[in-house]
Structures are given as C-alpha cells and as structure tokens.
C-alpha cells in the first residue's frame, strides 16, 4: 500500500536525510512534499491530505506540538510521527496521540518500526470504522417470514440460479430468492468482494490464496474460485486491509 507522506523540519539537511532513509528502508512510504515552515505545511495539509506527517518539534513560528494540536482540532486525520533531537518532549507528543516519537539521528530499525506502528494503527482504524458503519444483520425473506443473518458471520455468498445461498461461519447455508447482484449492492462497504460472477466473499474469513489454482481457501475450509478478470481488483482489495 502507498503511504502518502509529508515531512516538516526547519533544517533542510534533516529533511533530505529523512527522505533518503524512508526511500531506502520504507518502500511503502511516498514523500509527496517537504516543508521547512510549519505554517506552509499547515496550509498544504487540506490540499495534499497526507496519510502521515513526519514532524519536527522545535521550529520557529509554530512548534511541532502546536501544529499537531491545531490539525487535530480542525479535524484532519493525518497520523503524526515526531522526529526531534529533544527527548523531553516525549510526553507532550503522545498527548496529541502521535503514532511514534523518534530521536535524531534516527536509526533505520526505529524508522521501520515507526512505519509498522502506523500500519497497525491504520488497520485498526479501518476495521473500527467499517464496524461502526456496518449494520449488524441482513434480513433474508422467505415464504414463512424472514431470517436475520449476522453479517460478520457470513463467510461467503454463492449464486445458484435465481437463488443466492448464504454460507455461515459454521458452514450452514441459508437460501434467498434474489440474485447475487442484489445482495452485492446491499453489502457494499461491509467487507465483501465479488471474486467471481458466482461468489461474494467476506474479508473476515480469508485464509489463503492459491496462485496455481486461482482460488481462495476460507478459514471455514471452503474453496472459492477467483475469476482471472477480477484477480487484479481482488489483490488491490486485499492490499487495502493488510500490512
């Protein structure tokens, strides 16, 4: 995954060294811009919308801590990693929910560790946001009434003619008299992906992708084909919630 990043430090040499180290050790990080002024950086955040900001603390005009507080108060979602030569600012850094606090000169292992922390934090945020937005159940009508299926327990959906079969975590199946496309729309944004014209899978159950057979093995043991024309989009989808 690409991590769109800006660097903010009033020392040009520090900016250049950090950019070089990120390029050499953190291939997922893309530095889109460097700033020697916190004021200029603040003005550009709304336009650039970086995922991550590496931020010095001791700077003229606006200190890094104050810039981080201002961005947070204005509702910007960019994560912050502080990079400084002053260890005494550590407590203040974490008061503004910084991902990490790095001391100059930054060792490559600590830099990679900071990026790993960001990726872990980002994944947790994505899952929390997904769960917050998602309804808990989907209603499946039948001749006798309707069933309520817990969405997180649906491992996959399979088209069976004009019927869609819902396979649950315990491998039990529930049939619904509507086509798969209807349920694909209903479950849009809830963690499901159409890997094949006849299958919709839940990311929560992915376990293994077999490149030789172009299929997914779910953690329930089910084997789901991945259509060749959908493979690229499937891999991009998986990349969106993995580190």
CATH topology of domain 137-239: OB fold (Dihydrolipoamide Acetyltransferase, E2P) (2.40.50)
Beta-ladder partners of 102:
83
Quote the pLDDT of residue 141: 80
**What architecture (CATH level 2) is domain 3-132?**
3-Layer(aba) Sandwich (3.40)
Instruction: Extract the tokens encoding 114.
Output: 């900071």
Poorest-pLDDT segment among 5-19, 104-118, 132-146:
132-146
Poorest-pLDDT segment among 31-45, 138-152, 186-200:
138-152
pTM of structure:
0.55
> Quick one: pLDDT band at residue 1, thresholds 50, 70, 90?
low
- How much is the average pLDDT of 158-186? 92
Which pLDDT tens digit goes with each residue over 87-132? 887 777 778 888 899 999 999 999 999 998 888 777 666 656 555 6
* CA nearest to 108, candidates 166, 14, 183, 21: 21
More confident residue, 133 or 33: 33
Please report, for the chain, the start and end positions of each structural domain, with discontinuous segments joined by +: 3-132, 137-239
Which pLDDT tens digit goes with each residue over 181-237? 889 988 887 889 999 999 999 999 999 999 999 999 999 999 999 999 999 899 888
How far is the C-alpha of 17 from the C-alpha of 138, rounded, in Å?
52
Rounded to a whole number of angstroms, the distance between the first and last alpha carbons of the chain is: 8
Q: Is the pLDDT of residue 85 over 80?
A: yes
């Amino acid at each position: 995954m690409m991590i769109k990043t800006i660097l903010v430090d009033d020392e040009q040499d520090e900016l250049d060294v950090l950019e070089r180290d990120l390029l050499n050790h953190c291939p997922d990080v893309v530095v889109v811009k460097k700033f020697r002024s916190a004021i200029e950086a603040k003005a550009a955040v709304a336009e650039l919308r970086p995922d991550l900001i590496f931020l010095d603390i001791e700077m003229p005009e606006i200190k890094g801590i104050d810039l981080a507080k201002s961005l947070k108060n204005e509702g910007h979602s960019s994560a912050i990693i502080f990079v400084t030569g002053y260890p005494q600012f550590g407590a203040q850094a974490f008061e503004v929910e910084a991902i990490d606090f790095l001391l100059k000169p930054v060792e490559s292992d600590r830099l990679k560790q900071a990026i790993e922390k960001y990726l872990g934090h980002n994944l947790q945020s994505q899952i929390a946001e997904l769960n917050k937005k998602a309804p808990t159940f989907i209603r499946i009508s039948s001749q006798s009434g309707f069933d309520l299926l817990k969405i997180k327990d649906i491992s996959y959906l399979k088209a069976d003619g004009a019927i869609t079969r819902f396979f649950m975590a315990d491998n039990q199946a529930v049939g619904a008299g509507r086509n798969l496309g209807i349920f694909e729309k209903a479950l849009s944004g809830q963690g499901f992906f159409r890997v094949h014209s006849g299958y919709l899978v839940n990311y929560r159950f992915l376990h293994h992708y077999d490149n030789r057979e172009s299929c997914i093995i779910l953690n329930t043991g089910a084997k789901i084909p991945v259509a060749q024309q959908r493979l690229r989009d499937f891999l991009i989808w998986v990349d969106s919630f993995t580190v």
